[in-house]
Amino acid sequence: MSGPLTGEPLALEARNITKRFPGVLANDSVDFALEKGEIHALLGENGAGKSTLMNVIYGLYSPDEGQICVDGKEVAIRDPNDAIAHGIGMVHQHFMLVPVFTVAENIVLGSEITRGPTLDMRQAERQIRRLSEEFGLQVDPQAVVEDLAVGEQQRVEIVKALYRDARILVLDEPTAVLTPQEADDLFRIMRQLTDRGVSIIFITHKLKEVLAVADHITVMRRGRVVGTTTPEETDEQGLASMMVGRDVVLEVDKSPAQPQQIVLEVQNLSVQDERGVVAVRDVSFEVRAGEILGIAGVQGNGQTELVEALTGLRAPQSGRILLDGREVPFHNPRYLIEHGVAHIPEDRQKHGLVLPYSIADNLVLSTYYREPFSRGVQRRQRPINARAGALIEEFDVRAPGAFTPAGNLSGGNQQKVIVARELSRRLRLLVANQPTRGLDVGSIEFIHRRMVQVRDEQIAVLLVSAELDEILSLADRIVVMYHGRIVATLATAQATRDKLGLLMAGSGL
Amino acid sequence: MEGTIVHTPRPSSISRFLRNYGVAVAVVLLILIGSGISYSITPLRTTAVLAATLRASTPLALGALCGLYGERSGVINIGIEGQMLLSAFTAFLINAYVGNLLLGVLVGVLTGAVMGLFLAFMSVTLRMDQIIGGTVLNILAFGLTGYFYQQGLTTPGKLQPIPLGPLADLPLVGQVLFNNPPITYLTLLLVALSQYVLFFTRWGLRTRAVGEHPRAADTVGINVYFMRYANVIIGGCLAGLAGAYLTLEQVGSFERMMTNGRGFLALAMMIFGKWNPLGAWGASLLIGFTYAFQTRLQFMGTIEIPPQFFGMLPYLLTIIVLAGFVGRARPPAADGVPYEKE
Ligand SMILES: Nc1ncnc2c1ncn2[C@@H]1O[C@H](COP(=O)(O)OP(=O)(O)OP(=O)(O)O)[C@@H](O)[C@H]1O
Ligand SMILES: [Mg+2]
């Protein structure tokens, strides 16, 4: 078979791939074709099987059925070594970097340069610098990876693939954690790579990005390929319905807010990060019942520390936090939970779930010690299971069952478990930090709708997000954080993308 | 105005060196200065104590290296005590019955290796809890050596000091450094070699990667299971050598439970040395010094204190050091976590 554009053999072809996990058919006879030098976007709901397909192509999972062809020839890919040998490189959804190693050590790992028995790191660093210049990918070979921002870590991952001469590059949700500027940088790099004949598979949930950069778009749903199209033939709405299998409302429709009394009041709060650097400086604001206050800002401008202080995970240096007019003790999550504060954390795997625990147990993490889930010192399984069944149904969590470990769920379904747990209590205040990061359009629609519903029940909502669209469509009022300070407060009606973008970058003051 | 991305300054190479090897440097300096002063007062005793320090540190350093290879690759080994004990026993038996010291040492090393293989099988292949796996090794060794122990069995000789030509005639250092039995020399070489292997070779880079982030290592084509097996077995060889040292070089006979907790102390040395061979060696020297010192105190016998109190010194110091002075030592991130593909 040959590609229609160039007449050359396909860079990569996956035929009839089937992969089963216990209780899940993750890939169901999937066909996928990648042309030379193109950017091919792979779209699909959370849990549709995109990462699974890529892991099969990269040799991390062995498929139950199917073949893979590279450059028109069938190849056997039994492990990542085979994939690397056939010029396949992959940047994983969760980065595969050793945090305590230097950039150079991470890049050469597995394909080291040696002189005699000794590692030749000088030579490696020279090669990395050359690659980094050639492709405009700025990396410092001697930096330690754990000190790098996510955008930089991602460049390291790409250089790592190029260092192995990757001609086929898989990028699994590369933009989920990037700032808009970093994402634009990445697209420039991707174009540069395809100009040099690299073929790219690009997974994302952001439809705008797909339409802007892809040559072809393949959509998956529930383990199957639904179809392949091009940006010319479709639009956001069309892609969304293809993914979800029904029409999706991309705009949030909500009535004007009717703010009531103040629920959360923050006075002159200052918080340090773990390195002792002041991350939040003298911040004051309030959130009223029945409104959504959006905190906009580029990641790393103090939002994480602010939310941690508000949810009792970090002790502030100074200032006061008042809930319904009463001062709350610092560093006391249980107090906050009992007084109706819900938290959707930024890092769902680290602060949102106990990954080895079942979905059912995760759903009662904040209430397990109360009636009816416990009596005396004893845990009661039956009410816990009943609750799990009801919530899985209501929040449409896609899982083999309530006893599946949370760690086996796809990212989007993990997020739904957290949202289900947090919204199923009596609430006064909901603190949501990047609540839809990495989620598909259907799940985003669902979570947005729930948040508006919560607001309309006269609950105060604090939304922290780096996504301008999310802030603009959900928030009733917006504050912008920059370098730990609140630099602007505005009504959503007066806010535009451009204005917010400037404020977030620290200019336009 | 500052940029949005904040770069943390990279620590200078000197401060990084001190952070990793501060322990070793401090211990060696202290011993050097102390012995310099003490040598000017009582040269004979000083020489004896220092020579004994090096020898007492040998099994600790070897045991610490054993723990280090395992943990750097992600396998916790608390069975070092058992590996040492059983190896000490087999090495001794071979020497007693065959009368060949070299063969005895080899069989000791082999015993450690086989026990390492067993531990790797339990913790890598069966994904058993690694603490339980190590405990199995210990119980096995205590049981076997206790059951087959023969009272009064003696061996024809033990490993003798080899003076290194004219170097051995130097004052102080000659006696301390250049007139030692073979396993003591070998240990110094192995410490240096391990430092080199772990931080300057392909093997070391891969070993550390597997101990920090096995999945990342897997994605670049490194066989995680193989690396863990190999490193645990290498560690077993070192623990076996430590066992052989006890019976064939230090004591010359086998006693029940003669390891006396050295395998566990070795783990403490590894932590004290922040999972670095040189650091662990420095820590072993410190504890070796207290062994030597307390023996000397017991010999002098002038003070009216029961000898058991002096015997406590190394253990007491270990507790103090571990509780107070280790600082923020960071174990390998995947230490003790079984790896599962898919
Ligand atoms: N290691 C595993 N064990 C068991 N089930 C798994 C495993 N990995 C994935 N699954 C299941 O296979 C299905 C497909 O998962 P996959 O990670 O491929 O989805 P995805 O399309 O990448 O989703 P997302 O957009 O959330 O990343 C999901 O139902 C998931 O629960
Ligand atoms: Mg995925």
What is d(CA B289, CA B50) in angstroms, rounded to the nearest whole number? Answer: 7
pLDDT of residue B303: 63
In terms of CA atoms, which chain B residue is nearest residue A116? B201
Tens-digit pLDDT profile for residues A366-390: 999 988 899 988 999 999 999 999 9
- Cβ A58–B219 below 8 Å, yes or no? yes
Tell me which residue of B92, B46, B29, B53 sits closest to B259, measured CA to CA.
Answer: B92
Note every long-range contact of A91-94, with CB atoms under 8 Å and residues 24 or more positions apart, other chains counting: A91/A154, A91/A157, A91/A158, A91/A161, A91/A169, A91/A170, A91/A171, A91/A172, A91/A174, A92/A157, A92/A172, A92/B219, A93/A51, A93/A172, A93/A173, A93/A176, A93/A203, A93/A411, A93/A438
Kindly report whether the peptide bond that precedes residue A80 is cis, defined as omega within 30 degrees of 0: no
Tell me which amino acid residue A307 is. V
Q: Is A182 in a helix, a strand, or coil?
A: helix
> Edge to edge, what strands does the sheet with A326-327 contain?
A278-288, A262-272, A318-323, A326-327
H or E element that contains B41? helix B13-41
Q: Which of the listed residues A19, A21, A349 should we mutate to test ligand 1's pocket, taking the one with most ligand atoms within 8 A of CB?
A: A21
- Which residues are CB-neighbours of B49 under 8 A, at least 6 positions away? B35, B38, B289, B292, B293, B296
Fold annotation for B32-149+177-328: ABC transporter involved in vitamin B12 uptake, BtuC (1.10.3470)
pLDDT of residue A229: 94
The residue length of chain B stands at: 342
Of residues A108, A109, A160, nearest to B217 (C-beta): A109
Q: Where are the domains of chain B?
A: 32-149+177-328
Q: Is A124 in the pocket of ligand 1 (CB under 6 A)?
A: no
A19: left (phi over 0), alpha (psi -120 to 50) or beta: beta
Of residues A118, A144, A298, nearest to B201 (C-beta): A118
Q: Is A412 in the pocket of ligand 1 (CB under 6 A)?
A: yes
Question: Under CATH, to which class is A12-244 assigned?
Answer: alpha beta
Residue with tokens 């540069």: A192
Residues of chain B falling short of pLDDT 50: 1-9
Tell me which residue of A179, A180, A185, A186 sits closest to A203, measured CA to CA.
Answer: A186
What is d(CA B22, CA B152) in angstroms, rounded to the nearest whole number? Answer: 45
Residues of chain A with CATH 3.40.50.300: 12-244, 249-340+426-509
Q: How far is B239 from chain A (nearest CA, A)?
A: 25
- A99 to chain B, any CB pair closer than 8 A? The answer is yes
ipTM for the complex shown? 0.88
Q: Is the pLDDT of residue A258 over 70?
A: yes
B157: left (phi over 0), alpha (psi -120 to 50) or beta: left
pLDDT of residue B328: 64
pLDDT of residue A509: 53
What is d(CA A416, CA A187) in angstroms, rounded to the nearest whole number? Answer: 30
H or E element that contains A50? helix A50-57
Contact A436, A470 (CB under 8 A): yes
Q: Is the pLDDT of residue A3 over 70?
A: no
In terms of CA atoms, which chain A residue is nearest residue B219? A80
In terms of CA atoms, which chain A residue is nearest residue B210? A98
H or E element that contains A264? strand A262-272
User: What are the E-state strand segments in chain B?
Assistant: 162-163, 179-180
Q: Which of the listed residues A51, A205, A358, A436 should we mutate to test ligand 1's pocket, taking the one with most ligand atoms within 8 A of CB?
A: A51
- Cβ A99–B333 below 8 Å, yes or no? yes
Residue range A299-304: average pLDDT? 88
How far does residue A171's CA lie from ligand 2's centre (Å)? 10
Q: A62: how many CB neighbours lie within 10 A of its CB?
A: 13
Burial (Cβ within 10 Å: 0-12, 13-18, ≥19) of residue A67: middle
Contact A85, A165 (CB under 8 A): no
pLDDT of residue A2: 39
- Cβ A96–B215 below 8 Å, yes or no? yes
Q: A296: how many CB neighbours lie within 10 A of its CB?
A: 28
Question: What are the chain A neighbours of B5 within 8 Å (beta carbons)?
Answer: 149, 151-152, 300
Tell me which residue of A199, A218, A170 sits closest to A30, measured CA to CA.
Answer: A218
- Which residues are CB-neighbours of A275 under 8 A, at least 6 positions away? B8
Contact B210, B333 (CB under 8 A): no
- Cβ B333–A300 below 8 Å, yes or no? no
- Cβ B10–A58 below 8 Å, yes or no? no
Distances (CA, A) of A94 to A82, A99, A177, A501, B142: 21, 13, 10, 27, 45
Tens-digit pLDDT profile for residues A472-494: 999 999 999 999 999 999 999 89
- A113 to chain B, any CB pair closer than 8 A? The answer is no
DSSP 8-state code for residue A52? H
Instruction: Supply B137's token pair.
Output: 């090794």
Q: Which of the listed residues A25, A28, A32, A52 should we mutate to test ligand 1's pocket, taking the one with most ligand atoms within 8 A of CB?
A: A52
Q: Where are the alpha helices (DSSP H) in B245-302?
A: 262-272, 277-300
Q: Is the pLDDT of residue A1 over 60?
A: no
Q: Is A358 in the pocket of ligand 1 (CB under 6 A)?
A: no
Mutate to test the interface with B, among A52, A98, A165, A303 (most CBs of B within 10 A): A98
Mutate to test the interface with A, among B4, B19, B223 (most CBs of A within 10 A): B4
Question: Under CATH, to which class is A249-340+426-509 assigned?
Answer: alpha beta
- Cβ B341–A99 below 8 Å, yes or no? no
Mutate to test the interface with B, among A54, A61, A91, A109 (most CBs of B within 10 A): A109
Contact A194, A37 (CB under 8 A): yes
Q: Is A210 in the pocket of ligand 1 (CB under 6 A)?
A: no
Tens-digit pLDDT profile for residues A212-244: 999 999 999 999 999 999 999 999 999 998 988
Tens-digit pLDDT profile for residues A39-83: 999 999 888 999 999 999 999 999 999 999 999 999 999 999 999
pLDDT of residue B5: 38
What is d(CA A267, CA A322) in angstroms, rounded to the nearest whole number? Answer: 8
The residue length of chain A stands at: 509
Q: Whose CA is nearest to atom 31 of ligand 1?
A: A409
Q: How far is A328 from chain B (nearest CA, A)?
A: 32
Mean pLDDT score of chain A, rounded to an integer?
Answer: 91
Model-level pTM?
A: 0.85
End-to-end alpha carbon distance in chain B: 47
Question: What are the chain B neighbours of A122 within 8 Å (beta carbons)?
Answer: none
